[in-house]
Amino acid sequence: MKRIYDSFARQGMMSTLGATLTHVAPGHTTIKAPIRPETCQQQGAAHAGLSFAIGDSAAGYAALTKVPDDQEVVTTEMKIHLLTPAVGHYLIAHGKVLRAGRRLLVVTAEVYVLHGGIEKQVAFLTGSIMPVDLQYTGNGA
């Protein structure tokens, strides 16, 4: 599971959002992020982009636990349902693998808001993750 934490640590976006990877198990991960003015929308709730970013990452890392060590993963598509305004202190995203194909994995994530001890689901994601060889991206590295 070390490579999951290492990969997470290299994600500038997760750091910018204050997100932490709090749980990793085969086919499952959990990511937590504070709701701060810097990540809200114009009405004071968490921006959809925050729920999406941690939900997508939780789902993607759940997928990564299922692919060989010489592969990375990329999200090819992801849909998010926003169930209710995310008003509270923290968001918690639980990602999991619904089906692990060799060429494509189907993943889901549930995102909850924590507001004074009460936990409420605010978003639901479903998406497709593709394993790629480690040297895949054109990032110049």
- C-alpha–C-alpha distance, residues 86 and 73, integer Å: 28
- Residue 75 token pair: 């999200």
Q: Does 40 bind its own copies (CB under 8 A)?
A: yes
Please provide the DSSP assignment of the chain as one string.
Answer: -HHHHHHHHT-HHHHHTT-EEEEEETTEEEEEEE--GGGB-TTSSBPHHHHHHHHHHHHHHHHHTTS-TTEEEEEEEEEEEE-S---SSEEEEEEEEEEE-SS-EEEEEEEEEEETTEEEEEEEEEEEEEEEETT-S-S--
What residues between 90 and 109 interact with its own copies by CB under 8 A?
Answer: 98-99, 103-104, 106
Q: Does 44 bind its own copies (CB under 8 A)?
A: yes
Selected binder of its own copies within 27, 28, 34, 47 (CB under 8 A): 47
Q: Give the x-and-dash track for 57-96 against its own copies (CB under 8 A).
A: x--------------x-xxxxxxxxxxxx-x---------
Which range in 24-32, 89-97, 124-132 contacts its own copies by CB under 8 A?
A: 124-132
Which range in 6-14, 23-31, 89-97 contacts its own copies by CB under 8 A?
A: 6-14
Q: Does 29 bind its own copies (CB under 8 A)?
A: no
Helix orientation angle between 48-64 and 2-9, rounded to the nearest 10 degrees:
150
Interface ranges with its own copies (CB under 8 A) = 7-8, 10-13, 15-17, 36-45, 47-50, 52-53, 56-57, 72, 74-85, 87, 98-99, 103-104, 106, 121, 124, 126, 128, 130, 136-141
